[in-house]
Amino acid sequence: MLVFNYLVFPGLLFATVAGLLTWWFDRKVTARVQYRVGPPWYQCFADVVKLLGKEVVLPENARRTGFLLAPITAVAASALVAAMLGVYNMNYGTGFVGDIIVFWYLLAIPSIMLILGGAASGNPLASVGSAREIKLLLSYELPFIIVLTMAILKAGTLSLGGIIEYQVGHGPILYSLSGVLGFIVALICVQAKLGLVPFDIPEAETELGGGVIYDYSGAALGAFKLSKGILFYTLPIFLITVFWGGIKIGDGWGILWAVLKYVLIIALITLIRNTNPRLRIDQAMRFFWGKLTLLAIIAFILSAIGI
Amino acid sequence: MGLKTAALKKSIWVFHVACSPCNNCDIEILDLLTPRFDIERFGIVLVGSPRHADALLITGVANRHVTPRLIETYRATSKPCVCFLFGACASGGTFFKGGYNVPKPVDEIILEEDPNAIIVYIPGCPPKPEAMIAGVVKALSVL
Ligand code: SF4
């Protein structure tokens, strides 16, 4: 059952399909915004299958083990998050004390693997990208952990299952002033975690030509794309679970309601992506450690006094 | 036709190699990304690194300085890959042929490096964006 959960239903396979469709949705909406037609629905599947079937070029001065292990680890970690979230939302009782910290760690692993892979490839552009990814990771994790702490404080429990149960009883965390502020902060952090414009600083197609993934080719690049696709599905679901009452699979309208929430979050992400230019890394750090952290602290204080 | 080829046909990522063109061809290439032609609907995307590319879009005549870089770029590309020689310069050399700074036509340079390379010629000075799309269609039919 565990293996099935990990590999097929809420885990790897399901998350891949859902995530790649979401990614296509994002690309299609972007194309429509720019008055283009945009790619067909199977585009992201074609991309990933093609990449998995291509030759992997090993750069001459790359560290082979690290270079090849990084993408696989990224996929494994993101699939694990997807599986755990799915199982928690299907039966609320599961979970253990402190699992939200495990989630926090697992969600950071794909970024860390990008850093390691970029550094292991021995390419100057990729190492610049790695340095930027480290700075970006450090900057968005601070507000992200503060808003997670806010949710923990509100629910009075350290387990994600507990947070869902609290929301079933008391209504979603989002429906309060502190919840709204926290949700906005978390949404912008998710944008940075996905590496989308305006926070695609480490990849920066136009200046670094791919940045951290510059030297990846073929199947290894495909694995990184796959992990990004899975995160495209996982991170919005994580937001829904922590702030918006989770997915009520049990009752009839629950699924439809959850899909609506999901589409709304994706639409917000796409909107942010299409209306902002890329920031410089110092601007991004100032934004996350300054304004966003301040907002997160305000949300935290408001939730502490019960607003 | 296997799944791999089918997927490859639906998603061609292109890296633009400018081998000292006069810049007119490059402008025509950028036209392909505009709403009027929008090649993303065929899954064609411009990428920033030769390692990600399935196709090299070569413009201009390769002069003595550029030739070793062109060979390096071809080696860095993960195979299978298609070479599009975009423009009269890249396909034939036009009036630069036999110049003191032009050692060899582009296709000979690539065939010397890899005799099995797939090369598509798109003549024109500069070729129209429609010609480029027609060239891609022809290349896909031989894959
Ligand atoms: S083919 Fe014509 S337009 Fe293109 S680079 Fe050569 S001279 Fe310029």
Separation CA B95–CA B88 (nearest Å): 10
ipTM for the assembly: 0.85
Give the percent of chain A with pLDDT over 70.
98
- pLDDT for position A6: 78
Long-range contacts formed by B124-131: CB under 8 A, 24+ apart: B124/B87, B124/B88, B125/B24, B125/B87, B125/B88, B125/B89, B125/B94, B126/B24, B126/B25, B126/B27, B126/B28, B126/B86, B126/B87, B127/B25, B127/B28, B127/B86, B127/B87, B128/B28, B129/B28, B129/B31, B129/B32, B129/B37, B130/B37
Determine the residue of chain A that is closest to B8 in CA distance. A50
Residue nearest to atom 8 of ligand 1 (CA): B22
Separation CA A47–CA A16 (nearest Å): 13
**For A53, which of B4, B38, B47 is closest by C-beta distance?**
B4
Alpha-carbon dihedral sign for residues A170, A173, A175, A176: positive
Residues with CB under 6 A from ligand 1: B 21-22, 24-25, 59-60, 87-89, 125-126
**Would you kindly state where each structural domain of chain A is located, as residue ranges?**
2-304
- pLDDT for position B117: 86
Which has the closest alpha carbon to A38: A48, A28, A47?
Answer: A28
A43·B43 Cβ contact <8 A = yes
Mean pLDDT of chain A: 86
Using pLDDT thresholds of 50, 70 and 90, give the confidence band for residue A4: confident
Name which of A217-231, A244-258, B74-88 the model is least confident about: A244-258
**For A209, which of B49, B78, B79 is closest by C-beta distance?**
B49
Of residues A199 and A210, more confidently modeled: A199
Q: How far is the CA of B93 from the centre of ligand 1 (A)?
A: 9
- pLDDT for position A215: 85
Using pLDDT thresholds of 50, 70 and 90, give the confidence band for residue A289: very high
A46·B38 Cβ contact <8 A = no
Using a CB-CB distance cutoff of 8 angstroms, which residues of chain B are in contact with residue A216? Answer: 51-52
- pLDDT for position A266: 92
**Would you kindly state where each structural domain of chain B is located, as residue ranges?**
3-142
Instruction: Using the predicted structure, report yes or no on whether residue A169 has a pLDDT greater than 70.
Output: yes
Mean pLDDT of chain B: 86
Using pLDDT thresholds of 50, 70 and 90, give the confidence band for residue B118: confident
pLDDT digits (tens, 9 = 90+) for A118-164: 888 888 888 888 998 899 999 999 999 999 999 888 888 888 888 88
B80·A54 Cβ contact <8 A = yes
- Please name the CATH architecture into which domain B3-142 falls: 3-Layer(aba) Sandwich (3.40)
Query: How large is the greatest C-alpha to C-alpha distance in chain A, in angstroms?
Result: 58
Using pLDDT thresholds of 50, 70 and 90, give the confidence band for residue A28: very high
Separation CA A36–CA B62 (nearest Å): 34
A31·B38 Cβ contact <8 A = yes
Instruction: Using the predicted structure, report yes or no on whether residue A166 has a pLDDT greater than 90.
Output: no
